[in-house]
Structure 1
């Protein structure tokens, strides 16, 4: 089941859909799609979107691929370019889109309304669709491609061409999705010695289950090489002997046709999964367990290694002992600290390894092999993520999937300040509460943050992706003192250097209530440490929440000597941008009462005496933002060559604001 789950929606009129696809394919074939943020000038639609937005449609149809930021035709796209017929596109979509051919088959059998076809699909294929939108879009495409026609009573039926073409397509019948007998007894190979040792350690060591990590998962899986486990095997095999980081990542990028920066996100996963070991700084080698997997060639051995190092691996199979919707599996994954995207990756691994089977387009069930495997694995019980366990009861009620409410944000900020001067806060061991709240603060801002603590290691490990997509790592040393002052006597530079080396960190921050004396300031300057007070961190968390700052923005606080001051400047700039946005909306609303259209230059002149006094360039940036959001916030009245004199009126700004809030809420629900 490698087809796309949803039909592509080009967001244009029916009459424009087919001509738009053809024109886009021609332009890409001519090599025009080299800037994904550019908007092509198209004759098939009145208002074009960016190449990036069109790529989502064309990639789901299997017509294009993204090669290092440039859109190129796939073999299927070249086929359509050679035969620009509706029937050719229809056949390509039947191969690529789930239930596309199956909908036409229903309409060949008898005329149906959208609702009738939708109900039959749901019943026959065990779908969890709650609206008719998926079916409606498929039937719209069939109509656009000339394969169906409208009859009376809102029903559609296959045309003669539709009947002829459907007879040539492979159609998945409901019986083809029947689950093989999972009650059969199967034998699975014993794990190699190196992998068996990992599982034994997991079974007998206190805290080992909880120590398994939840790092983001990423493995190259281009269309021409879709098998994720096999691709991962190729990557790890390249490091069977010691290999420098740049050489390894360069090999992966070249092998799979990816940007070098895109591959950086893979390294933390393969290390966390126990597949790759940093033998010395910047030099990596496959772990003994990974080498054993390479020798055995067994996908089950890969899953065993993954289970020993990451949460919700064997437990995922257990969650699917019986036929269950994927959404139920995702919800179970949350109790182990994983989000939906991570569970999707793990599910894909299980399907490729033959441990799960898709019983419908939206449900999975363990195979006999999967059930036999989990009998041999030490499994953990569901539990809340570590950060929620360590926090005070009130704060622990906020789960990772819920947006943090303002009073909860205040709780994080207040708790930072309180625990900074109370080492025994919340009845915990000295300094523990402060470390937990530091971890919570960084997590709330979108960082990967993990409280480690303990002898010989850092207090908190913080990671994020910078503006170039490169993974950055910092260690944080939290210092809680009842005196309210941290001096050089409270900090061990030798220990911090050791922790930094151990975690291959690029940055160090020491966080405390305040810092006293020139000695610690000079030490921090010499050692390139960022000294951050609890008050400063609290202000940064509040600003990140209010202004939507990314980890790539906030991460500059770790940069010395001027990271904190540059971050303060960025916060001021972002606040000014929002203030100018409010001013522009207010001015447009005022002018709308007389139905006057205004330009950026007009607003600049009108508001030059106001406290903000925005200049023309700032106003052009604001109008450009409105245009990029494309939500009818403002309406262009007269477009002229000099953008300073282009005029605007206010649009449906209130509805646009509600729409943006709805989008933001949906994003937060998915996290």
Structure 2
């Protein structure tokens, strides 16, 4: 069995959790006892106990725990367990302790590093601080430190100074340290510069380049114990356990002993593995590593392959790389883009931190000195391979490019709004962006934003009898939550009277619930949250209402809901489907020998009345008459009309859309 020393990022965080036998050589005695059972090929279902320990488990349970550290392996699925030839036990081998120590150090983080740190006596808390601060481990408790100290005390390399409650490396430990020096800091910090700069190509699995394999649905990757930086090794360890079938209890035991996590967290991790098709649930208690999971175990670059696997099902994962091709971005900028353009449900930093860590592990992105994220050479090579899967701009017709450009402008506006909403140092930027937002909704706007005035005044574009106006007060806060003490309702009343408007709205990223909302209702103030604005603009792209039709938004007090516009949206959706159905029906009958493509209103009615859109509310004669009158009007002229009340198509559906677009895009 090969045993190459792992790179730091791929090493395990946890020591092998086997019982510690009572006596001077504790863990080493336990290890030798287990290896002897392997040598004898004892039935793996036999139970084994250890002197001084209450633990009594099946042999295979302990074998599984030793596998990630390369003490044991299986050549085939369900094959016999075998011992790594480097540590086959020989009672006459004076160097056996060193061989065990070397294998541990080659496969587990913070061994030589700990020995190096305790050349001067150190207490347990000092060692824990060194592990977390210097080597970026994420241990909250001392258990992992104690495990390492006890193992190396049993291997004869560390001494315990009991009266000082400190630990120090001894002569044997120093000899071991000379041959096994600690990892260099640049190995740990190498993500700060691009280690892929010399790469000229990247090998990508065929299934990554076939968009039919993508099923992008997940906002959140899910829970991974041991910290996201160590995600790959944690996942691979569990997949190793499950390669030849395993039970839920075996996985639970391994995770609980190595990471000391609750059952609910274990369930969450297993769910994550199954939803990404790495682990297959065979029945209520049995699991098996999938073929994809086996590919990950056997991969030469597990970090890279894992990023490919996550990219198949995770929103704004590969798309993040494509956006970073354009420019470097901060975490906040990426989160804002994820919500506004790629429909991730939240800009919660944790969701994006996971994506970034996995992509950093794969050496696809790095964090530069400006605290922004940028593509590595490898990341750019990969992004260039997949960009055609995610972007279709090169394939669109020239006539659609105006709409696409406008859509990009909207995305940029929403992204800028989200960033500005938490930038209290430049609150005027938020006001300016909101002014632009309401212009796109069709309002006349006045950007005032001066002492003693409101920030923006909105006026609906209509005749005087139906006009209404709104004061807009913009609120920013670094934390994103607008609290009760940030809104002065008396001042809002004064501004309402001063500007003689009908309604008042306050806009912020999110509002504190409870008393603030109650006060807003009592003072007849409407609260617009950023998620609401984004949904409003998204709907406006599909159903462009007129400013007068947005009146119901301002008549609700407290936190605004988009539901008050539901009826308007349904009417527009219904009219759009009616328009398309009429044109398609006439076109489909253009070559009909019997009708010659000329249909009566009754013919059209019976052809389209079963459309899904008319199931809840049947198509009315007046609706059909009105739409036919519009389409046959000389200004539109998409449908020809004959005196006897019959109709025929005068072009394709695309022609009709272009005709409407001509009037829509005409400068007034």
What TM-score do the two structures reach when normalised by structure 2?
0.35
What TM-score do the two structures reach when normalised by structure 1?
0.35
Rg larger in 1 or in 2?
A: 2
